[in-house]
Structure 1
Amino acid sequence: MSTALDKPRVRLDHNAQALVPIEKPKSSARAFTFGEPEPALGSNITDYLGVFASSNERYYVPPVSLSGLAKTLYANGTHATAVEFKQLQLLGNWKDNPLISRTEARLAIADYQVFKNAYFFAIRNRLGGINRYVRLPAINMRVGTDNNFFLLTKQGDELEYKANDVLHLNGGDIRQSIYGIPTYFSGIQSILLGEAATLYRRRYYLNGAHSGYILVTFDLDDEEAQDLEDSIKQTKGPGNHRSLYLNMESTIGGKPGYTKDRIQLIPVGDFGNKDEYDKIKEVTQQDILNMHRVPAALSSIMPLNAAGHGDLKNIREVYYDCETLPAQAIWKELNDRLPSRGKISFNEPRWLLNKGAS
């Protein structure tokens, strides 16, 4: 059976009475792309929608996606550790409170750092006095339209609380006064850019584009080519790299080919974008630390120069004065509504007490 490959590639020139090669028609230039662009955001995390009442008009809908804010913690390691660092600075000096346990305080402080909102619910005794406060998860809390609050449950229920039973620490927002909006909201794009760079790098490696080669030999007989192929397979464990071996003839139509080297190694991997990836990671990391106002020296970030970060003790003291003390003052705003025996207060840091004693 003849195929298209068996058809003669010459024609008879009746004028010259000779066989002349048939010129192969030139193919037109072609180009294609693969890999359609993917949306950077799965939801409108960065959209500021304003504050509107819900469809049932019972509570106000937060102006930004609270679940989206929570997801950013898992999108970028630098962002998550900076948030936790600020939480621990407050919790480390938290003075034991008879109405708010340390566990409830820890969870509420975490809520405030992520959402700029924290909620406490008063557990009352039979006489109406307050026995203790428990933290209500900020991600599910909604400010009601009728001087009340609602807790949304997974079952779709809306648990209602009276306003005088709920303490709401509102971090504030210049565009509205119902919900607080975290300051890092303006830097979410940097958080997501760092995540995108990491995901790109992972896919780059998983696709095998980071390594591999094409090994080409010429004019080896089948036995020699098989021996070489077996030797190559034994040099690496299976699945480490994706490579291709070709054994080809160096003649074209019975004439010597144009290859100069009998063995050619053609690399496939490309490390050309490594520098760009590292630069993106470095820039986004610095952006995140800047928007959280957390010094790199206190974030376990390796210094980029030989001089280092400087005196860590001085950095710690400056951070305490500029960040921790103002943060403590915000939490003390709840004292206006707390009973006298449950006022929020903080211990002096150990290093400051030692300095005063000396």
Structure 2
Amino acid sequence: MTDKPRHRLPATIDGSYSVESTQSLPAETSKVKAKAFSFGDPEPVLSGGITDYLGIFADSNALYYIPPVSLSGLSKLLSANGTHASALGFKCNQLLANWKENPMISRKEIRAAFQDYLVFENGYLLAIRNGLGGVNRYVRLPAINMRVGTDNNYWLLNNDGSMQEFAARDIIHLQGNDVRQSIYGVPDYFAGVQSILLGEAATLFRRRYYQNGAHAGYIFVTFDLDDNMAEDIEKSITNTKGPGNYRSLYLNMSSTVGGKTGITKDRVQLIPVGDYGNNDEYDKIKEVTQQDILNLHRVPAALASIMPMNVAGHGDLKNIREVYYDSEILPMQAIWEELNDVLPQRGRIEFKEPRWLIDSKKAV
């Protein structure tokens, strides 16, 4: 086996911005001194190595092969993006809905195995044998902690740092395909990790925007009001502001500068500040990343509880469900039925026809 070269995405962001401003005032006043600043030192696009493809290498003790992608990173993606987690949960439910009860694999064990395969594209079942060496049942082993051994065996990495070895004859390993190696499966959605992380980053940015208090609501400006009236307005604005609301600013200014009347458009002005929506296009980012994620998982928006973006809606849900069943659910079931080549006859994996399909046949 040849080692795969390490690939790292070298993309960087290098931005700079400068501002120069002058303010024209009457002749008696001097120009405001011009100021300039810049920001945006080069930064890596990714803060972690979740999208690095490492290739296949043995660990330092040469006991097992290290997965080509971070399994811990893949698991964390479930908490990073709601659409991603929901799509995987939806696909798991579709498999469970048609699962035919099995005397050797309980529904609880197969549900966990389904989730493992959808997240990591690897699933592991351990044979529990009786005193005569026969198999009584199968239990799921967590894919995030399983490693393929270098000596035709398997290892379970425990949370306390210990390891447990299993013989190859006791482990059923269902793995997806990866054209770069044949030891572990790599999920199809790995190609869209950037979209998943972008959706998370946009949400976190907006949350921080509201939490850090930097978003002023408005600047309320009046001109030439006497002190008593200005104080009354200030108290009114202060009393109407509750905790956690936008931070606003009230200014009472003189329209006379240097003994001359300055130019004011209105005696009362309300100036909005921090128009967030126009600056970072949050809604557009969320819409695009959401669509990217649904495309990655090949889940129709109508079945993913996504509100339609047009008046016509998603179309006929029955037709969408039928197409999805034929194009996605049946192939997913066929992958698990591959295990029947090694499972005993009474433990064969089978799926029922969905209720709506049975009803349609009866109607005919």
The TM-score with structure 1 as length reference comes to 0.88
Bigger shift: 280-289 or 213-222?
213-222
- Which deviations, in whole Å up to 9, do the C-alpha atoms of 1:23-77 show, x marking residues without a partner? 86x6653222468776553421111110000011000000001111111111111
1:343 and 1:108 map into 2 onto residues whose CA distance is 15
User: The residue matched to 1:273 in structure 2 has which SS?
Assistant: helix
Cα distance, 1:164–1:29 mapped onto 2, change above 3 Å: same
Decide which of 289, 297, 303 is 2:302's aligned counterpart. Answer: 297
Bigger shift: 153-162 or 199-208?
199-208
Cα distance, 1:176–1:241 mapped onto 2, change above 3 Å: same
Residue of structure 2 equivalent to 1:326: 331
2:312 and 2:114 map into 1 onto residues whose CA distance is 35
Gaps of 5+ in 1: 1-20
Decide which of 127, 131, 135 is 1:126's aligned counterpart. Answer: 131
2:284 maps to 1:279: yes
User: The residue matched to 2:126 in structure 1 has which SS?
Assistant: strand
2:65 maps to 1:60: yes
Tell me the percent identity: 71
Query: CA contact under 8 A between 2:71 and 2:144: conserved in structure 1?
Result: yes
Residue of structure 2 equivalent to 1:257: 262
Cα distance, 1:310–1:218 mapped onto 2, change above 3 Å: closer
Q: What letter is aligned with 1:83?
A: L
2:40 and 2:248 map into 1 onto residues whose CA distance is 22
Residue of structure 2 equivalent to 1:174: 179
Query: CA contact under 8 A between 1:48 and 1:63: conserved in structure 2?
Result: yes
2:107 maps to 1:83: no
Residue of structure 2 equivalent to 1:48: 53
Gaps of 5+ in 2: 1-26
User: The residue matched to 1:212 in structure 2 has which SS?
Assistant: strand
Cα distance, 1:356–1:255 mapped onto 2, change above 3 Å: closer
Decide which of 304, 310, 314 is 2:319's aligned counterpart. Answer: 314
2:37 maps to 1:32: yes
2:284 and 2:220 map into 1 onto residues whose CA distance is 33
| Cα displacement (A) at 1:208 | 4.2
Query: CA contact under 8 A between 1:209 and 1:270: conserved in structure 2?
Result: no
| Cα displacement (A) at 1:319 | 1.0
What pairs up with 1:151-230 in 2 under 5 angstroms? 151-208=156-213, 210-230=215-235
Decide which of 338, 352, 356 is 2:357's aligned counterpart. Answer: 352
- Which deviations, in whole Å up to 9, do the C-alpha atoms of 1:102-121 show, x marking residues without a partner? 00000000000000000011
Q: What's the C-alpha RMSD, in Å, of the aligned pairs?
A: 2.2
Bigger shift: 209-218 or 102-111?
209-218
| Cα displacement (A) at 1:321 | 1.1
| Cα displacement (A) at 1:224 | 2.3
Query: CA contact under 8 A between 1:209 and 1:268: conserved in structure 2?
Result: no
2:323 and 2:345 map into 1 onto residues whose CA distance is 32
1:23 and 1:182 map into 2 onto residues whose CA distance is 67
User: The residue matched to 2:110 in structure 1 has which SS?
Assistant: helix
Query: CA contact under 8 A between 1:58 and 1:146: conserved in structure 2?
Result: yes
Q: What letter is aligned with 1:132?
A: R
The TM-score with structure 2 as length reference comes to 0.86
| Cα displacement (A) at 1:290 | 1.1
1:215 and 1:282 map into 2 onto residues whose CA distance is 34
Cα distance, 1:258–1:23 mapped onto 2, change above 3 Å: closer
Query: CA contact under 8 A between 1:43 and 1:68: conserved in structure 2?
Result: no
2:253 maps to 1:248: yes
1:73 and 1:179 map into 2 onto residues whose CA distance is 20
Query: CA contact under 8 A between 1:117 and 1:168: conserved in structure 2?
Result: yes
Bigger shift: 209-218 or 196-205?
209-218
Q: What letter is aligned with 1:96?
A: E
Bigger shift: 105-114 or 35-44?
35-44
Residue of structure 2 equivalent to 1:10: none
2:214 and 2:316 map into 1 onto residues whose CA distance is 44
1:108 and 1:271 map into 2 onto residues whose CA distance is 43
Residue of structure 2 equivalent to 1:13: none
Bigger shift: 252-261 or 347-356?
252-261
Q: What letter is aligned with 1:215?
A: F
Residue of structure 1 equivalent to 2:340: 335
